[in-house]
Amino acid sequence: MTRPARLLTSAFVFTVFAASTAAGQGIHQPQHPPPPGERGSPNIRVLANIPLGEATSVSDIEIEQELSRPYAYVARRMGEIGFDVIDLTDPEKARVLTRWRIENPDLHQGGAMDGRYFKHEGRYYFVQSLQFAQGGPNSDVGAVVFDVTDLPITGRVEEVGRIRQPETPGGFHNIFVYKHSSGKPLLFATSGSYAKVFDLDMFLKGDQTEMDKFTTDEETRALVGRVPLGPTPNPFSTGYHDFYIGYHQESGQDRFYGAGGSGYYVFDVSDLKNPKVLATILNVPGVAWGHTFTPSPDGRYAIGETEWQYQPLRIFDLKPALDGEVENIDHAISAWHADWTALAHNHEVRWPYVFVSAYESGLSVFTLEDPKNPTTVAYYDTYDGPHNQREARQPDSPYTWGVYNGAWGVDVRNADGLIVVSDMTTGFWAFKMDGFDGWNGEKYGVPNVSSVQDWDKGPLGSN
Amino acid sequence: MRIHPGVGRVLSLLLSLCLITGLAAAQDVGSGTRNLHTVGRVSHELIPTPAEFSVIVLDQDPDRPFAYVGGRTGWSILDLSDPGRPTVLQTLPSESLVTDIAHFQVDQQALVAVAAGDEVDVFDVSGIGTGEMPVAIRSYPGGSSATLFAYRHSDGRALLIVSTGGDAVIYDAGGSADAGPAASIQTPEQVDPEARGFERAYAAYHADTETDRFYGAGAGGYHVFDITDTDSVRHVTSAIPTAVRRGHMVSATPDGRYLLAGAEYRAAPLRIFDLEPVFEGRLSLVRTSVGAWTHDWKSFLLAHELRWPLVFVAAGERGLQVFNMRDPEAPYTYAYLSTSAAPQGEIDDRVHDVNGAVDVDVRNSDGLIAVLDRQTGLWLVRLDAFQGWDGRGYGIPNISSVQDWTNGPDGMTIFYSP
C-alpha cells in the first residue's frame, strides 16, 4: 500500500473509532478468552507485566501518586502473605524492589488484601490490610503500617505498628485512607458491622494499646469514629465490604460511600462523632448486597458493584435522594459490562473514565460522559486462565467462585495517567491509554476529587 | 483531478465498508438469521386488542388451528388455518389488561382461562371456528398481574395454577367452581417471609420419580415442589441465587434436571441451574448456575418456551431469539429474528419500558412458532429443521409446557387390560 493510502486508511480508522465512541457506541470487548491477537484494544499499550508467584496469590494494588516516588504496592495472599513493592522508575522496566511477608506464614490462615499509602508530616507510610482467621496468630490484626519514606533503600522500610481489633477478630477486608477536611489523616476500615475510623496521626504517635482504647472508649471517640451500617431490609450481610470517602465541594461535607448490607449507603462524615445517612440505595432488583461503591467527583452519580457472575456495574443517580425528593434510590439509570458472562470487580473513577479490574476480562475502561449510556473505550485482558473455572465452583455457595480470578485491583497515577493492575494469577501490569496522560478534574469541568488525596493541602475547597 | 491509484482503491474499499456498516447498523424489522422464515403476520392495527400486547397462546390441538392473543383492552381469537393468511375470528373486550391466557381441556371440552384484573375467567372455546362465541363458564380469583399455567396432573385432573405475586393457587379446573383451591403453595421457609410469593409457575411430570412437580419463580428465586398429592404439597428444593431477588419465570428440562430461569430485571440472562447435586442428596438447594444465555445483555428476556435442546425466547427489542442448550454450561445462539423497531430501552432495573417481543409460543405438532411483538403484532415463524417437537425423538420424556390432555404426562407407566 502506498504512503498516501496508508495515511488515508489510518485517518479513516481513527475517524471511525472516534466517531463510534463519540456516538456512544464505544468499542466491543471480546469475551474471555479473547480471539488470537485480540487481547487488547489498539489504544492500550502494555508497559510491563511481572508474574509474581503462584496462581491466585495476588490481591489488590496501590500506586503512589508523586512521580518522584515511583512505587506500587501489590498485596499477596495464599502462601505468600504480605506485599511486593514494584519500582516504576522506568515503567517499561518495572521490577520488584522488595517484598514483605508475615512472620511464621504457615501458621496464618488468610492473606493481605487492600493496601493504601499516605503522607503525614513529611513522611510516607503504607498501610496493608490483613485478614487472618481465628485458630492462627494475628486474627486480631486488621492492618500493618510501614514507614516507606526512604524507598528505594529497602533496608530502611520499617514496620511502624499493627492496628488490632480484638473485639472483632478477622481483620480488615478493605481500607481507605482519607485526608479529612479537618486535616486529619484517617483510615477507614471494614470491621465487624462498622466502618471504623482511625486517626493515623494518633496511631503514629501512640501505640497499639492506646489505639484499642481510642476505638472502644466513649470519652475519646471524638478522635475517631464508627460509621454504622444503614438499613438492611434484606440482610445478606451485616457489615461493609468496601467504601470510598470523598469531599463534596458543593456542600462542604466529607462523604462516605459504603457498599455492604443490602446495598449502598451515603453518609455525611464531616463530624465523625455523628455520621448521618444522606441516601440509601436499597431494594434494587438483582442487588442483595453491595461490594464496591464509587461516586463521580461531584457526588451526583455512583457506580455500584455486586460480586456475582452476570451482574453488570450499575450506575445510580443520587440526586433525587440527596435533594430530598426520595429517601431511597431503588433503581439504576444504566449499567455496563466488560463481558456479561463474567463480572467486573474493583474500579477507579477518573471522570468521565472508569478504570475497572474486571476479573477474567482484565483491565477495562469505560466512559460515563453520558451516564445513561456508559460505553467501553479501552481494554486489555490480563488473565490467561479458563472461564468459570470448574474446580472453583461451589453450587451451594451464594458466591460465584468460578469467575473470581484475573484482575483483582486497579489504580491510576493522576500525574501521568499510568494505569496499574494486579491480576490474581498473572501478577503486576502497567499500561498507558492513548490520549490519557493524567487526570485533574478541573480539566474535565468537575471537582478534582478522586481516590487520590492531597496530603499536604487536604480537599480542595475545604478549610 | 487525477486520483492516485492506491488512494482510489482505498476510497473504494472505504465506501464499501461504510455501506456495509450502515446496513448493519440499520437492521430492518424482519431481518434475522437465514434459518428462520416468517410465514405470516398480523400487524397490531388489525387485532382489535390494540397496544400493549401481553400474551400469545397457540392451541396445541392439530385440529384446532387457533391462537389466543391478549392485550390492554381484551383478547382475540385468531384463525391460523393458513398460517400465511392469519385472520382475526373474534375479539372479547376487557376493562383490564389481559395479563395471561392458558388453554386446556376437560373432558375434550376446549377451554381458555383469561386473567384480567381481579378475575380469571374460563371460557368454553369448543365451538369457535364454527361461528360460536366463547362462553364464559366460571371464574376464579385473580390479581392485577396474575399469570396462569394449565397442567394435566398424573391423576387425570386438569389443574389451573394462578400466580399473583402471593401464594400460587392451584384449582381443579374440571371440578366444581365452588370447591375452592386444590392447593395453595407458599414460598419455602428459606425465603424472607416479607418477600414471599410467586410471579409465574410451570408444572411438569418428573418421570424418574413418577411425581408431579411445580416450579415457581418468585421471592428468592426459583422453587420446586412435589404436587403429586395436592393435599400434601412438599418442597423439593430451590435455586436461590444471590443476584436474583425475585424470579420472573422458570421452566425445567424434560428430565427435570436443569432449571431455566429468568429474573425481574434487564441485564439478567436466562440462568441454567443443575439440580443433580440435590437429587443425588449432596445438597439441599443450589445457589449458583452452571450456565447462562443472553444474546445481548442489554435486552429484556420476557418469556421463553423450552423445547429441548432449543429454547425460544421473546427478547424485547431483540425480537425472537432461539438458543441451543444441549450443553447447559455453554448454550449458544441458534437463530434470531428482528420483530421490533423499538429503540433499545434504558438499562433501568425497573420492570417497565417493555417493548418489542413480549411473548412466544411453539406448536409441538408442526413446529409453528408464534411471537407477539408489542409494536409490530403477531409473527408466525418457522425454523429450518424444526418441524415439530416430541421429546421421545430426542431420547427424553415428551415433556414441555404442552400437555397431553387425553393421555396425561409422558413417562407414566401405562397398563392395558387384557
A311 with B9: Cβ contact below 8 A: no
Mean pLDDT over all residues of chain B? Answer: 88
List, for residues B268-309, the tens digit of each pLDDT value.
999 999 999 999 999 999 999 999 999 999 888 999 999 999
For residue B341, give every residue at least 6 positions away whose Cβ sits within 8 Å of its Cβ, in sequence order, or none. Answer: B29, B375, B376
List, for residues B55-71, the tens digit of each pLDDT value.
999 999 999 999 999 99
* Residue B96 grid cell: 383490564
Confidence check: pLDDT of B6 > 70: no
What distance in Å separates the CA atoms of residue B107 and residue B97, rounded to the nearest whole number? 30
Contact in structure between B73 and B117 (CB atoms under 8 Å): no
Closest by Cβ to A5, choosing from B7, B246, B329 = B7
Lowest mean pLDDT among A167-171, B21-25, B221-225: B21-25
Q: What is the ipTM of this complex?
A: 0.79
pLDDT in the model for residue A233 = 86
Contact in structure between A159 and A143 (CB atoms under 8 Å): no
| Confidence category of residue B3, pLDDT binned at 50, 70, 90 | very low
Q: What are phi and psi of A224, to 5 degrees?
A: -135, -160
pLDDT in the model for residue A18 = 44
- The A185-191 sheet, strands edge to edge: A175-179, A185-191, A194-199, A225-228
Fill in the DSSP letter of residue B188: P
What distance in Å separates the CA atoms of residue B28 and residue B15, rounded to the nearest whole number? 21
pLDDT in the model for residue B20 = 37
B348 with A4: Cβ contact below 8 A: no
Contact with chain A for residue B330, Cβ under 8 A: no
What distance in Å separates the CA atoms of residue B137 and residue A444, rounded to the nearest whole number? 68
Confidence check: pLDDT of B174 > 70: yes
Q: Is the dihedral of CA A244, A388, A287, B294 positive or negative?
A: positive
Contact with chain A for residue B283, Cβ under 8 A: yes
Contact with chain A for residue B36, Cβ under 8 A: no
pLDDT in the model for residue B27 = 56
Contact with chain B for residue A400, Cβ under 8 A: yes
What distance in Å separates the CA atoms of residue B5 and residue A335, rounded to the nearest whole number? 47
Contact with chain A for residue B15, Cβ under 8 A: no
> Quick one: what percent of chain B has pLDDT higher than 70?
89
A5 with B243: Cβ contact below 8 A: no
Closest by Cβ to A337, choosing from B265, B283, B297 = B297
Provide the shortest C-alpha distance from residue A328 to chain B (in Å): 14
A331 with B348: Cβ contact below 8 A: yes
pLDDT < 50: residue spans in chain A: 1-23, 218-222
Q: How many residues does chain B have?
A: 418
Contact with chain A for residue B387, Cβ under 8 A: no
pLDDT in the model for residue A8 = 47
What distance in Å separates the CA atoms of residue A261 and residue A232, rounded to the nearest whole number? 6
